[in-house]
Structure 1
Amino acid sequence: MTTLTGPRLPPRSGRPRQLVVLLHGFGADGNDLIDLAHAWQPLLPDAAFVSPHAPEPCLQGFGRQWFPLTFRDPHERWRGVNRAAPTLDAFLDAELAETGLDESRLALVGFSQGCMMALHVALRRKRRLAALVGLSGMLVIEEGKGPESLKPAIRSVPPVLLVHGDQDDVIPVEALFLSADLLSGAEVPVEWHLSAGMGHGIDEGALHHAGLFLAQRLGESLPR
Structure 2
Amino acid sequence: MSTPAPLDPAVALWSAELAERTGRPLLVLLHGYGADERDLFGLVPFLPPEFVVTAVRAPLSPPFPAPGYSWYPIEGLDGRNPSSVTDAATALIAWLDEHAPDAPTGLLGFSQGGAVALQALRLEPERFSFAVNLSGYATPGALPRDPELAQVRPPVFWGRGARDDVIPDFLVEHTTQWLPEHAELSGRVYQGLTHSVSEAELEDVRVFLQKQLETLEADDAPVGEPEQ
TM-score (norm 1): 0.80
The residue type paired with residue 54 of structure 2 is V
Q: Tell me the distance in 2 between the aligned counterparts of 1:170 and 1:77.
A: 16
Q: Determine the structure 1 residue equivalent to 2:122.
A: 123
Q: Tell me the distance in 1 between the aligned counterparts of 2:162 and 2:171.
A: 10
Q: Determine the structure 1 residue equivalent to 2:92.
A: 88
Q: Determine the structure 2 residue equivalent to 1:159.
A: 155
- Secondary structure of the structure 2 residue equivalent to 1:140: coil
- Secondary structure of the structure 1 residue equivalent to 2:100: helix
Displacement after TM superposition at 1:95 (Å): 3.1
The 5 A counterparts of 1:137-156 are: 137-142=136-141, 149=142, 152-156=145-149
Deviations 1:86-110 (A, max 9, x none): 211111222323xx42xxx211001
The 5 A counterparts of 1:4-153 are: 4-5=8-9, 6-10=12-16, 14-16=20-22, 17-40=24-47, 44-61=48-65, 62-70=67-75, 72-73=76-77, 76-97=80-101, 100-101=102-103, 105-142=104-141, 149=142, 152-153=145-146
Please, which runs of 5 or more residues in structure 2 have no aligned partner? 218-228
The residue type paired with residue 87 of structure 2 is R
- Secondary structure of the structure 2 residue equivalent to 1:133: strand
Q: Tell me the distance in 1 between the aligned counterparts of 2:154 and 2:125.
A: 11
Q: Tell me the distance in 2 between the aligned counterparts of 1:173 and 1:163.
A: 15
Q: Tell me the distance in 1 between the aligned counterparts of 2:204 and 2:179.
A: 20
The residue type paired with residue 196 of structure 2 is G
Change (3 A) 1:86 1:189: same
- Secondary structure of the structure 1 residue equivalent to 2:107: strand
The residue type paired with residue 212 of structure 2 is R
- Secondary structure of the structure 2 residue equivalent to 1:118: helix
Q: Tell me the distance in 2 between the aligned counterparts of 1:123 and 1:23.
A: 16
Match of 1:202 among 197, 201, 204: 197
- Secondary structure of the structure 1 residue equivalent to 2:26: strand
Displacement after TM superposition at 1:152 (Å): 4.9
- Count of aligned positions: 203
Displacement after TM superposition at 1:174 (Å): 6.8
Q: CA RMSD in A?
A: 2.4
Displacement after TM superposition at 1:133 (Å): 0.4
Larger Rg: 2
Q: Tell me the distance in 1 between the aligned counterparts of 2:77 and 2:93.
A: 25
The residue type paired with residue 133 of structure 1 is V
Please, which runs of 5 or more residues in structure 1 have no aligned partner? 143-148
- Secondary structure of the structure 1 residue equivalent to 2:174: helix
Q: Tell me the distance in 1 between the aligned counterparts of 2:170 and 2:186.
A: 15
The residue type paired with residue 127 of structure 1 is E
Q: Tell me the distance in 2 between the aligned counterparts of 1:15 and 1:7.
A: 13
Q: Tell me the distance in 2 between the aligned counterparts of 1:36 and 1:174.
A: 30
Change (3 A) 1:117 1:74: same
Displacement after TM superposition at 1:189 (Å): 2.4
Q: Tell me the distance in 1 between the aligned counterparts of 2:210 and 2:201.
A: 14
The residue type paired with residue 192 of structure 1 is G
Checking the alignment, whether the CA contact within 8 Å between 1:67 and 1:80 is kept in structure 2 is yes
